[in-house]
């Protein structure tokens, strides 16, 4: 199973000291966060896409390209690529280019975003959000899979004899997730193509998430991509941890209360009881995350939000350390012990990445395997105990 973090890239005043980081500081902090994720052994770093204050990640491929140069193993993804307001031709080119730079360590999540004004800023009509998402993605798939494309649709000028460059790495496009919180049409779209479905359920109760994932699974099987249990599912979540749960609640409360995404609404306690937000100890995060499987079945990717609401970088890096050192190792073991045979353990990887991982496995086994001397000592001990 893949575990990682995602960021919405907000520039938010720290409510405990009144300090607001500059955009430059926030962008540099995001790089440090991604590098820390790789350092502690997480699998995925994902960034949102926003074109309005107080958010800074307006150019995901620029950010991810820089991170690609500073990491070796981290899968680079988006937690939203705006399929509605970005030109599919530009998406095809940008992410294929990034795929080459990162040697295949790229996938992306299509979404419509949650900011209404972005549509007219890019010449589109929000009332056409779903049709735009469907048509634009159909064109994107075609651009990645056909060397010469003829196209005519409703929302952009026709294409005649067009070739998107560069072509996807080794002819294999990046894996695509379709992200949606409440739109069954997007779950249907993901199922139709056999793509992944990501429910970023940081705002919603698990009962709603369960319904959306069940719809996707049912339709995935309907379209003949495999059984419902084999559908590729990802979930979001939000965590804040300290060794003592009361310390975690006390420290996080002012950040939650003033968060630009969901502050000034329900209390921290109400929100924690109604959504997957978990504020407490690493053990509580483990326990809560394992319940997600009870709601949606075995799934392939879990991403956590850890840097929202003005948290200082030092605190965010501490959260990532706790995830990598205490939470994720336990979750990996528990999720994999429960996973039935035939159900994918991770989202699909580019063949180049899968090959590198397979080549590294013997080395990892060799590093952790006991030496001949250790084996002989263990056998002698066992014989002595038996005698």
pLDDT in tens, 316-361: 999 999 999 999 999 999 999 999 999 999 999 999 999 998 888 6
Tokens standing for residue 287: 């326990």
Pairwise pLDDT comparison (287 vs 263), residue with the higher score: 287
H/E stretch holding 5: strand 2-7
Question: What DSSP character marks residue 156?
Answer: S
Using alpha carbons, select from 106, 55, 64, 110 the residue that is nearest to residue 85.
110
Beta bridge partners of 75: 44
Give the per-residue pLDDT at 378: 35
Count of all residues that appear for the chain in the document: 387
The answer to whether the CB of 272 falls within 8 A of the CB of 279 is: yes
Those residues whose C-beta lies under 8 Å from the C-beta of residue 373, and which sit 6 or more positions away, are: none
Q: Which of 48-52, 110-114, 226-230 has the highest mean pLDDT?
A: 226-230
The CATH number linked to 222 is 3.20.20.30
pTM of the model: 0.90
Q: Is residue 340 one of the residues assigned to a domain?
A: yes
- Of 103-117, 188-202, 312-326, the one with minimum mean pLDDT is 103-117
Integer angstrom CA distances of residue 48 from 7, 27, 97, 108, 368: 6, 13, 19, 10, 37
Those residues whose C-beta lies under 8 Å from the C-beta of residue 231, and which sit 6 or more positions away, are: 191, 197, 216, 217, 220, 221, 225
Q: Is residue 296 one of the residues assigned to a domain?
A: yes
Counting the structural domains of the chain, the total is 1
Give the per-residue pLDDT at 265: 84
pLDDT of 152 > 60? The answer is yes
| End-to-end C-alpha distance for the chain, whole angstroms | 43
Cis amide bond preceding 166, omega within 30: yes
Which residue range forms the structural domain that includes residue 235?
2-349
Pairwise pLDDT comparison (18 vs 367), residue with the higher score: 18
Give the per-residue pLDDT at 360: 82
pLDDT of 386 > 70? The answer is no
Q: Is residue 354 one of the residues assigned to a domain?
A: no
Tokens standing for residue 151: 């196209």
Tokens standing for residue 262: 């969901």
Instruction: Return the SS3 of 288.
Output: helix
Tell me the per-residue pLDDT of 73-83, one tens digit each, with 9 for 90 and over.
Answer: 999 999 999 99
Q: Is residue 381 one of the residues assigned to a domain?
A: no
pLDDT of 372 > 60? The answer is no
Give the per-residue pLDDT at 71: 97
Q: How many CB atoms lie within 10 A of CB 282?
A: 19
Q: Is residue 334 one of the residues assigned to a domain?
A: yes
pLDDT of 383 > 90? The answer is no
Q: Is residue 46 one of the residues assigned to a domain?
A: yes
Q: Is residue 281 one of the residues assigned to a domain?
A: yes
Q: Is residue 246 one of the residues assigned to a domain?
A: yes
CA distance 364 to 356: 12
């Amino acid at each position: 199973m893949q575990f990682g973090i995602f960021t919405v890239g907000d520039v938010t005043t720290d409510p405990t000291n009144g300090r607001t980081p500059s955009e430059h500081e926030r962008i540099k902090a995001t790089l440090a966060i991604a590098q820390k994720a790789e350092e502690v052994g997480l699998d995925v770093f994902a960034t949102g896409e926003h074109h309005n204050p107080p958010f800074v990640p307006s150019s995901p491929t620029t950010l991810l390209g820089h991170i690609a140069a500073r990491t070796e193993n981290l899968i680079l993804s988006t937690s939203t690529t705006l399929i509605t307001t970005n030109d599919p031709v530009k998406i095809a080119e940008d992410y294929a280019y990034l795929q080459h730079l990162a040697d295949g360590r790229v996938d992306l999540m299509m979404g419509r975003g949650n900011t209404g004004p972005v549509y007219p800023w890019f010449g589109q009509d929000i009332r056409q959000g779903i049709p735009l998402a469907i048509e634009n993605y159909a064109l994107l798939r075609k651009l990645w899979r056909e060397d010469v494309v003829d196209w005519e649709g409703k929302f952009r000028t026709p294409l005649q004899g067009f070739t998107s460059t560069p072509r996807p790495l080794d002819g294999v496009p990046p894996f695509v997730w379709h992200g949606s919180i409440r739109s069954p049409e997007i779950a249907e779209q993901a199922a139709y193509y056999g793509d992944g479905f990501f429910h970023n359920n940081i705002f919603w109760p698990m009962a709603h998430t369960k319904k959306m994932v069940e719809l996707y699974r049912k339709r995935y099987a309907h379209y003949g991509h495999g059984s419902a249990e084999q559908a590729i599912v990802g979930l979001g979540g939000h965590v804040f941890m300290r060794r003592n749960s009361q310390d975690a609640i006390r420290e996080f409360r002012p950040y939650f209360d003033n968060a630009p995404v969901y502050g000034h609404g329900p209390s921290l306690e109400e929100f924690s009881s109604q959504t997957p937000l978990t504020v407490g100890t690493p053990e509580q995060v483990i326990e809560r995350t394992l319940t997600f499987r009870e709601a949606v079945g075995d799934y392939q990717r879990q991403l956590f939000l850890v840097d929202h609401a003005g948290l200082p970088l030092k605190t965010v890096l501490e959260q990532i350390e706790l995830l990598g050192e205490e939470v994720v190792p336990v979750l990996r073991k528990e999720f994999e012990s429960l996973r039935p045979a035939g159900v994918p353990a991770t989202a699909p990887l580019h063949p180049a990445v899968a090959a590198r991982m397979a080549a590294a496995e013997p080395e990892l086994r060799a590093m952790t395997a006991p030496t001949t001397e250790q084996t002989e000592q263990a056998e002698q001990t066992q014989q002595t105990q038996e005698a």
